[in-house]
Amino acid sequence: MLSEVQMLNRTTNHLGFKSGVKSGPKSDLAERFYDNGYLIGRGAFSSEEVAQLRGMLSALYQNIDSLKENKFRDIGALNGLDVGTQQPEIDRPTNINPDLLETAIYQKLKNVASEILGRNAKYVFDHVICKMPGTKVKTAWHQDRGYMLDKVELNTVNFWVPLQDTDERNGTLGYVPNSHHGDLMPHGSEGVHPHVRKVELGEIDPVYCKVKAGDFTAHHPLTLHGAGANLSDTPRLAWSVHFGAYGRLEYLRPSNLGPVIKRLTGRDKA
Ligand SMILES: O=C(O)CCC(=O)C(=O)O
């Protein structure tokens, strides 16, 4: 029986970037992903790989003033709290620094996504969230599909890469196992930043991920998840990267065309 680390190393080694996986029986990883709605990959990245990525993402935060308004926001800066002091988020950091696409961590995530999807995975989206030390702001419970235009479905594998050891004290991710077997739930923005989408939940029994730097999590776009406050005295940085079998062409699946065309022509606001 292979340990989880051995299994991941095997995964990342045998899936060369060029060859990837085209088809075949469902792998162990795919089974865990689709059965539970999420998985945790342990010991996938070296400390050098984590340090390199942390440095590259932290550097983007030094230049937030130069970012376009729709690429940067502080989703925790409500009720008079200053922008930049709570939970600053940058959309598509790979657009700002394309070298991120060349990092070992990106390539390994792409290989894992290929194994789960059963074919060569392609980039769809990424964002980075820094929970500032002492921020009480939580990441609201949501399904990633709740951020999509009405009825748009992207069949993605959504990774979350913590860049320090992370647990309930400094804002780790919590999942509601098996929640991806249900439908998309109604999402709203009441009481949170206008960019944020949230689900009102009753009783839930989440699993909070206790992870080390070098681990990652992956979840299905319908899996309910959220994250806690950062009560520690260091920033909690995490990179989220989404892959799909068709990359950004996922938006052009026939069933997505209606809402996408409505958005492009402004008819969704009519
Ligand atoms: O980093 C976080 O706090 C939340 C990330 C998240 O919810 C996501 O990437 O889907």
Query: Which residue type, as a one-letter code, is found at position 31?
Result: E
Model-level pTM? 0.87
Strand order in the sheet with 236-244: 38-41, 216-219, 156-162, 236-244, 122-131, 88-91, 72-74
Q: For the chain, which residues make up each domain, given as ranges?
A: 4-269
Give the number of other CB atoms < 10 A from CB of residue 257: 12
Nearest Cα residue to atom 7 of ligand 1: 226
Atom of ligand 1 nearest to the CA of 129: 1
Report how far ligand 1's centroid is from the alpha carbon of 226 (Å). Answer: 7
Identify the helix (H) or strand (E) that includes residue 73: strand 72-74
When mean pLDDT is compared across 66-75, 161-170, 185-194, the lowest value belongs to 66-75
- The verdict on domain 4-269 having CATH code 2.60.120.620 is yes
The closest alpha carbon to 133, from 87, 168, 164, belongs to 87
Q: Which residue has the higher pLDDT, 92 or 84?
A: 92
Give pLDDT tens digits for 147-177: 887 778 899 999 999 999 999 999 999 999 9
Q: Inform me whether the pLDDT recorded for 263 exceeds 50.
A: yes
Report how far ligand 1's centroid is from the alpha carbon of 19 (Å). Answer: 30
When mean pLDDT is compared across 8-17, 69-78, 140-149, the lowest value belongs to 8-17
Nearest Cα residue to atom 10 of ligand 1: 144
| 211 to 8, 173, 220: CA distances (angstroms) | 15, 9, 19
Report how far ligand 1's centroid is from the alpha carbon of 3 (Å). Answer: 27
CA 99 to chain CA mean position, Å: 19
Report how far ligand 1's centroid is from the alpha carbon of 267 (Å). Answer: 30
pLDDT, position 24: 53
Q: Inform me whether the pLDDT recorded for 133 exceeds 50.
A: yes
Mean pLDDT of the chain: 87
Nearest Cα residue to atom 9 of ligand 1: 240
Binned at pLDDT 50, 70 and 90, residue 225 comes out as: very high
Binned at pLDDT 50, 70 and 90, residue 21 comes out as: very low
Question: Which residues line the pocket of ligand 1, CB cutoff 6 A?
Answer: 129, 139, 144, 160, 171, 225, 227, 238, 240
Binned at pLDDT 50, 70 and 90, residue 195 comes out as: confident
Give the HSE-up count for residue 12: Cα atoms under 13 Å, Cβ half-sphere.
18
The closest alpha carbon to 123, from 88, 150, 72, 159, belongs to 159
Q: Inform me whether the pLDDT recorded for 237 exceeds 60.
A: yes
Identify the helix (H) or strand (E) that includes residue 30: helix 28-36
Mean pLDDT in residue range 43-72: 90
CB 209 within 8 A of CB 107: no
Mean pLDDT in residue range 199-210: 91
Binned at pLDDT 50, 70 and 90, residue 25 comes out as: low
| 164 to 28, 42, 213: CA distances (angstroms) | 27, 13, 4
Atom of ligand 1 nearest to the CA of 227: 3
Nearest Cα residue to atom 8 of ligand 1: 240
Greatest Cα pair distance, the chain, in angstroms, is 58
Mean pLDDT in residue range 193-200: 88
